């Protein structure tokens, strides 16, 4: 597991439990370098890492151990997560000051961080790590999954960074447990063209003994989909700090923002009490646990007081929701004044809200930590919007962080109208954790006709089919599934909406069956003995094979298949769909035929039916 001779010169190497991943550290010319290999393939060539800028570094000792445990998240893609790693602790001196570097190596990735001693209190820390990725072909980064081939031409990549290599491997570069690294902000990613190397840098003033940096993380997968279910970043995050999590309830809900102005012929939705009561009735009738009340329910906030819109009786709305068993996520916009962050969350709790959708809070790690803590103290869920700190892994430590818009919600940005952008965000932005993307538009024709107040300004620019909208809600991992369309649009397609009604918001197991960034993905998620499968396609009509190798042997399943019709088209005919039922077993293959901008969805349940041939 550990190989070392002369510690001041020879590499110190630690391998993963299965031996496939190996990380080596060595000092060269007074600087510490690391490298990563996978199955004898170079993933990261020797790259510098330091905690004090340009400090002379030497290795004075090391210790190693192996750990194999399991833990249960409050919500997520798995009900139980295994944390099996080998850990190397390097004792270092940096400018004659003692420092530790801890490295954990998993079968699918690597994390390392510094631990600071008391002697470093007051020292200016520059946490710098290079990442000289090997064999890169295409790169993606940030909350849009921005694609680029020449890193030197990109002004500033952002977390997470994903590279698709020429050999087909996929590698992710991000950080974890920023929540625990007090004093540090999110790392800035740069690119040093001189040596073709990505860099990650963050700064802090050392607070003294025991201060930790975030983990710098390298994820390794044979496919893009492998990265989306990689648990390394979660395992590196600090365990849950909440003694009671019973009040944290993942679920599905309606969102009012896109519904404003919708006219069903007898009723026009607006920002008023009667509209909210009607939406609450729909949620209660359809088994949706949440309603998110977005902006304009209040007009200003200052010095511990809120001026509520005269059209909204918020006390009546929340009281009615409680009677109906529906929980309210209540929006707060910092641009409308300064309520006082010390009392804001207490005020929302007293109103009876179950959580806060926090808008325009800024990309500030310290502020994000304080907000998560204040929300938890008042038993409030929190959903960060508008370009928040990604803070990967925080949903393990503080699971009241239920979702965040480290992506672009549908219709929010012109680039997000395309299935290609959705597919990039689903396989890149999602690496930081749960996303709020607000998928699930059913009235696509009326959206594209410009009949929505808050729809796309350009007509016929939103590309998707209704089956793709269903599948997108399964593909995106989040603790709060937020549906954006009017109740009447879901009721018009009640048989299709049934998939979303039955789909839970937390899972026992997840598999990625097909994936290619920007082109397609197929995700299978299990709850109990039932499987839900969703596939999303780009603007090339195609068929994907859904191989049912993961089903229990000897068991017959009833498969309800939701698919694009033969004449479906993400632009020309987005609302056509078909539903049929077949009997299947382990080893069968269901063909997922998808239109331009289309999708495919399946519910699998054990049955006693005899299997029939699939055509």
Please list the rounded mean pLDDT of every run of 10 residues in the chain (615 residues): 48 98 97 96 98 96 98 98 98 94 98 94 96 97 94 93 98 98 96 93 93 98 98 98 98 97 97 98 98 96 94 98 98 89 93 96 91 98 93 98 91 76 97 96 94 85 96 98 98 98 98 98 98 98 98 97 98 98 98 98 87 50
Both tokens of 407, joined, read: 């992506």
Say how far apart CA 335 and CA 218 lie, in whole Å: 37
State the pLDDT at residue 456.
81
State the pLDDT at residue 7.
43
What percent helix, strand, coil does the chain show, rounded to 5?
20, 40, 40
Closest by CA position to 563, among listed 578, 573, 576, 575: 578
Residues 6+ apart with CB under 8 A from 199: 128, 129, 130, 131, 189, 190, 191, 192
Burial 472-494 (b: 16+ CB within 10 A, else e): bbbbbbbbbbbbbbbbbbbeebe
CA atoms within a 13 Å half-sphere pointing along the CA-CB vector of 517: 33
State the pLDDT at residue 119.
87
CATH code of the domain made up of 251-503: 3.20.20.70
State the pLDDT at residue 34.
98
State the pLDDT at residue 340.
83
Q: Is 261 left (phi over 0), alpha (psi -120 to 50) or beta?
A: left
Closest by CA position to 296, among listed 275, 320, 323: 275
DSSP state of 25: E
State the pLDDT at residue 208.
86
The residues spanned by each domain of the chain are 2-236, 251-503
Is CATH 2.70.98.10 what the domain over 2-236 is classified as, yes or no? yes
State the pLDDT at residue 120.
87
Both tokens of 320, joined, read: 């009615």
Residues 6+ apart with CB under 8 A from 370: 341
pTM: 0.96
């Amino acid at each position: 597991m550990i190989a070392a001779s002369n510690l001041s010169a020879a590499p110190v190497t630690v391998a993963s439990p299965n031996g496939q991943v190996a990380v080596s550290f060595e000092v060269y010319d007074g600087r510490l370098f690391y490298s990563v290999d996978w199955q004898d393939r170079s993933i990261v060539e020797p790259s510098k890492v330091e905690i004090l800028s340009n400090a002379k570094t030497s290795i004075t000792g090391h210790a190693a151990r192996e750990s194999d445990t399991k833990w249960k998240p409050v919500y997520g893609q798995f009900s139980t997560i295994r944390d099996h790693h080998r850990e190397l602790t390097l004792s270092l001196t940096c400018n004659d000051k003692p420092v530790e570097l801890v490295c954990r190596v998993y079968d699918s990735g690597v994390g390392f961080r510094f631990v600071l001693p008391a002697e470093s209190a007051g020292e200016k820390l520059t946490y710098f790590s290079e990442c000289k990725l090997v064999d890169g072909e295409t790169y993606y980064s940030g909350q849009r999954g921005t694609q680029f081939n020449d890193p030197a031409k990109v002004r500033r990549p952002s977390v997470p960074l994903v590279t698709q290599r020429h050999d087909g491997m996929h590698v992710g570069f991000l950080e974890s447990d920023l929540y625990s690294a007090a004093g540090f902000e999110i790392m800035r990613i740069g690119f040093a063209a001189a040596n073709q190397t990505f860099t990650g840098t963050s700064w802090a003033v050392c607070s003294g003994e025991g201060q930790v940096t975030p983990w710098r993380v390298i994820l390794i997968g044979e496919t893009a989909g492998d990265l989306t279910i990689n648990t390394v970043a979660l395992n590196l995050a600090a365990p849950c700090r909440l003694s009671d999590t019973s009040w944290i309830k993942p679920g599905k809900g309606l969102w009012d923002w896109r519904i404003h102005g919708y006219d069903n012929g007898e009723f026009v939705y607006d920002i008023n009490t009667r509209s909210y009561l009607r939406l609450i009735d729909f949620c209660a009738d359809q088994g949706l646990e949440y309603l998110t009340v977005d902006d304009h329910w209040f007009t200003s906030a200052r010095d511990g007081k809120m001026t509520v819109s005269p059209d909204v009786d918020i006390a009546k709305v929340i009281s009615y929701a409680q009677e109906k068993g529906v929980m309210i996520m209540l929006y707060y916009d910092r641009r409308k004044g300064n309520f006082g962050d010390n009392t804001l969350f207490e005020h929302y709790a007293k109103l009876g809200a179950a959580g806060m959708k926090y808008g325009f809070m800024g990309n500030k790690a310290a502020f994000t930590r304080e907000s998560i803590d204040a929300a938890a103290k008042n038993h409030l869920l929190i959903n960060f919007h508008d370009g928040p700190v990604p803070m990967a892994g925080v949903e393990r430590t503080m699971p009241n962080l239920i979702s965040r818009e480290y992506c672009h919600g549908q219709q929010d940005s012109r680039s997000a109208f395309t299935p290609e952008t959705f597919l990039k965000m689903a396989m890149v932005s999602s690496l930081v954790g749960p996303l709020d993307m607000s998928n699930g538009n059913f009235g696509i024709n009326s959206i594209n006709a410009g009949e929505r107040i808050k729809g796309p300004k350009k007509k016929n620019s939103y590309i998707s089919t209704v089956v793709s909208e269903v599948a997108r809600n399964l593909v995106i991992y989040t603790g709060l599934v937020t549906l954006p369309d009017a109740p009447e649009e879901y009721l018009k397609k009640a048989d299709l909406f049934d998939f979303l009604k039955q789909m839970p918001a937390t899972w026992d197991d997840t598999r990625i069956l097909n994936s290619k960034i920007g082109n397609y993905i197929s995700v299978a998620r299990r709850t109990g003995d039932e499987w839900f499968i969703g596939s999303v396609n780009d603007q090339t009509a195609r068929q994907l094979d859904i191989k049912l190798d993961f089903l229990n042997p000897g068991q017959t399943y009833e498969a309800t298949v939701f698919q694009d019709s033969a004449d479906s088209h993400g632009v020309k005919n987005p609302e056509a769909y078909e539903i049929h039922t077949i009997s299947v077993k382990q080893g069968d293959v269901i063909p997922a035929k998808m239109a331009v901008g289309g999708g495919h969805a399946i519910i699998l349940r054990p049955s006693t039916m005899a299997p029939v041939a699939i055509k």
